[in-house]
Amino acid sequence: MKCLIISFIFGLEKLITMRTVQYREALREAMVEEMRSDENVFLMGEEVAEYNGAYKVSQGMLDEFGPKRVIDTPIAELGFAGIAVGAAMNGLRPIVEFMTWNFALLASDQIINSAAKMLQMSGGQYSCPIVFRGGNGTAGQLAATHSQSFESFYAHVPGIKVVTPSTPYDAKGLLKSAIRDDDPVLIMESEKMYGDKGEIPDGEYLIPIGKADVKRKGNDVTIVSFGKIIKVAHQAAEVLSKEGISCEIIDLRSLRPIDYDSVVESVKKTNRCVVVEESWPLASISGEIAYHLQRHAFDYLDAPVLRVMQSDTPFAFSKVLIEEALPNVKRIVDAVKSSMYVS
């Protein structure tokens, strides 16, 4: 599906063709385009080649680039993450796909102690341009060990960048920027988003890492979120709009670095903030946002910063307990109303 958008640049009309793609297709386009333009870029991971990727993100890439640049690895995350670090130190630009970030716990030593620290420990002699990417967060009835969100876990570590695209447009633009970045970049995707559809423009575009996006404009309350749970925030905003409450939704997109300025500017307008996050409460991104707002926008706040989080427990298998654990429309609506002192 295609549509046309007319934009005005320096007084000239420019016709932009938009087309609808799946989230997985946007990721694939980003990798293919960068691999075509830079022979040092390659993809490695479990089942990325012969099987076309566990979620078909790399479909067709083996046929185009061959087994030297699209590499199936053993089920040994620590091992192939270490190979990627060595490759990056020697001038290549690996893209490492994990089936899920839950499995990447096995590779965390290479990510945190090698990739993140290499530039500093080598005195600037070795950069480490790697992209680590894969599914993150909950994905149905996969129980405790396969349902964890790691954004704040890795955002805690200096030396790496963490991004979590919530749309196909963001996925392509951020992944292309990540591949070109000279630092390690972690892309937190979601198994539940790979089939999501959205519009992207024909031709090349980049989205800078570290820049949030206002997904919905509003005046009464700022809702800050990221990743797939932002879809629930949009549903809540629709419910609230029918009651005359106007919500502004900010998609952080990047969790290290965080675009604090965009959040502060929004709160200066709305004077209230609710953070929606699919993660445990302690040491979370929401806690960091709340601290920054009380430090840099205290005089603009008419109510405490509230947050809607995942329950502080290991994730359950039961559907009933899953629904109870995750942020939902009612909890977000209640938080927004509480910040406005209405019932």
- Nearest 5°: the CA angle 158, 91, 109 is 40
- Nearest 5°: the CA angle 232, 177, 92 is 130
Integer CA distances (angstroms), 83 to 43, 118, 190, in order? 12, 14, 25
Cα–Cα distance, 87 to 90 (Å, whole number): 5
Choose, from 25, 29, 34, 146, the residue flagged as catalytic: 146
Residue 156 falls in the annotated catalytic set: no
Q: What order of strands is seen across the sheet that includes strand 2-9? A: 2-9, 12-22, 197-201
Choose, from 77, 97, 189, 278, the residue flagged as catalytic: 77
Q: What order of strands is seen across the sheet that includes strand 161-163? A: 70-72, 41-45, 93-100, 131-135, 185-189, 161-163, 254-256
Residue 243 falls in the annotated catalytic set: no
- Active-site amino acid positions: 77, 146
